[in-house]
Amino acid sequence: MPELPEVEVSKLGIQPHIEQQTVTKVFIHNASLRWPVPDEVHSIEGLVIRSVRRRAKYLLLDTDVGSVILHLGMSGHLRIVPQHEALKKHDHVEIHFENGKALRLNDARRFGACLWQEPKHSHTLFAKLGPEPLTDEFSAQWLFERSRNKKVPVKQFIMDNHVVVGVGNIYANESLFKAGIHPKREAGKVSLKRYQTLAPIIKQTLSAAITQGGTTLKDFAQSDGKPGYFAQQLLVYGRKGQPCVQCETPLQEIRLGQRSTVYCTVCQK
């Protein structure tokens, strides 16, 4: 599943092609996504995309009458292509612009979404989301205060979108390793001092992934591109049994919340 850096790179990739551009036509080739595509999405025809924003793993295309919300689901991706280019299988939503380009949402598994948000309103999907991890609102103090008396493993705690959005499985694994925190440690038993180490590492890890993903931005204008997916330089995730980069102890893998969790038994306490 695309995680926050992949979605942020998707935003950066489509932004220069569609921001401040007038929408000429919206085509819904398949309305049966995770939720039915609402008719209101057609409201943006004839209007300018004022901004392209990201909230958690959702992208918002803002106009004067409301916002189209896009979610990539498990397998979705966005492409910027010439309008005359033939559709690919699983191209479900297509938006044409006055510059001759089209934004297409392709999603083989149809777990993605195309929804509508009224102006000056917040969609119910956003109602209980925590802060963005790359903002000042997210801090060690925030984590510490919300973790008190929590018995849930710290890895699941930082992956909870009510606590902070966008810290997916890959980046939770990586951040906890860099911070030297065992993923099964109860969130409520992690000290403020250790959260003061972890919070900046989460920010740095996500920022580095976004920067690395920026090298794929050219793919957004290629018909065969799958933007937002890029090679990761990972220290623990996907490295079960391989030597720890710090102490060379073989990395262990367990399941937490049904997710693969890889860690070092020596370096993480």
Catalytic residue among 2, 5, 133, 153: 2
* Contact of 106 with 90, CB cutoff 8 Å: yes
Active site residue 2: yes
Active site residue 101: no
Catalytic residue among 3, 8, 94, 174: 3
> The tokens of 147 are what?
């973790």
Active site residue 3: yes
List the binding residues for DNA: 90, 109, 150
Catalytic residue among 55, 57, 101, 178: 57
- Phi-psi label, residue 238: left if phi above 0, alpha if psi -120 to 50, beta otherwise: left
Active site residue 89: no
Measure the CA dihedral 29/30/33/35, to 10°: 100
Q: For the beta carbon of residue 201, count every other beta carbon within 10 angstroms.
A: 18
Backbone angles phi, psi at 252, to 5 degrees: -105, 155
* Contact of 70 with 18, CB cutoff 8 Å: no
Q: Among all residues, which ones are annotated catalytic? A: 2-3, 57, 259
